[in-house]
A and B are shown apart, each in its own frame.
Chain A
Amino acid sequence: MPSVAAEVQSGELRAFLKAIGDPRPVEAFRQETVPPTFLYCLFQLWSESPNAVIDVVGLNGLAVLHASQSFEYFGPVRLGGEVHFTAVVGKPYEKRGGTRVFIPVEVTARDCEGRTVCEMSQLLVVVAS
């Protein structure tokens, strides 16, 4: 998967705050770090196609759900900041006799100087219909 370069812009951040009901004004994020789950959205928003991970794995047309998600943060990300994402899709594995296929995905976010600011791990599950 190609890397994704993104910028934390006020319009996108404001829409995200509204969508989750975060009452803080967007300008607060010139000082504060962005909400904890926003970085994953930033990765999706700036990817070439929505649901970037699903496209890469080739799962369009199947029900793909989240099984788990984790974030580890190493530095702040603020309004106006640049973030570079790289994603690695792991080897899928089956459970429940093949009716569930799990796919691990690791996304690393780095700042403009290459320092890792966040590691995101997710486990997707494809449910056979």
Chain B
Amino acid sequence: MTALQQRAQGAMLDFPPITRSTLALYAGASGDHAAMHIDADAARALGMDDVLAHGMLVTGYLGRVLTEGYPGCGVRAFSVRYVSIVPVGAQLRCEAAVESEAEEDGRTVLRLALAARDEAGDIKQSGEATIVLPAKDRPSGKGI
């Protein structure tokens, strides 16, 4: 295998459209009961058109790109900026791109650029993460 082939790859997950049920489930599961996420009347009273997704739901989706794109990795740091609101019906694609790769005590440390985009390609959240890949399986060498 060439060095190029050994380089870590980016990762991507597509999510189903966000529904009101998605938000109700997340409200209960996260403890974020803010009415603007689950009650359209309350959202309108705050001057919004409708309920909007919890930012931390989308951050949770980005977290899945780390844990599913790099199984067994350790997350050292993870940060996101909330670029614009996510309405009901949004269909998100969450991506990680490898910014840099380093070796540390025999483990690979990746710095990743993260983005959550909607179906039109507009960025909803952007961020960074630093993860440590699990120790590589050592080749057995001599094959019995």
Taking beta carbons and an 8 Å cutoff, which residues of A are in contact with B?
12, 15-16, 18-24, 32-33, 35-37, 40-41, 43-47, 50-51, 54, 62-73, 129
Contact = CB atoms under 8 A, between A and B. Distances in A.
Given A19-B26, A19-B57, A21-B15, A69 B79 contact: yes
Contacts of B56: 37, 40-41, 66, 69
Interface in B35-50: 36, 46-48
B36 A41 contact: no
Given A18-B29, A44-B32, A33 B63 contact: no
A64 B52 CA distance: 12
Contacts, number: 111
A36 B81 contact: no
Interface residues of B, number: 37
A44 to B, nearest CB: 3
A72 B64 contact: no
Given A63-B46, A63-B47, A70 B30 contact: no
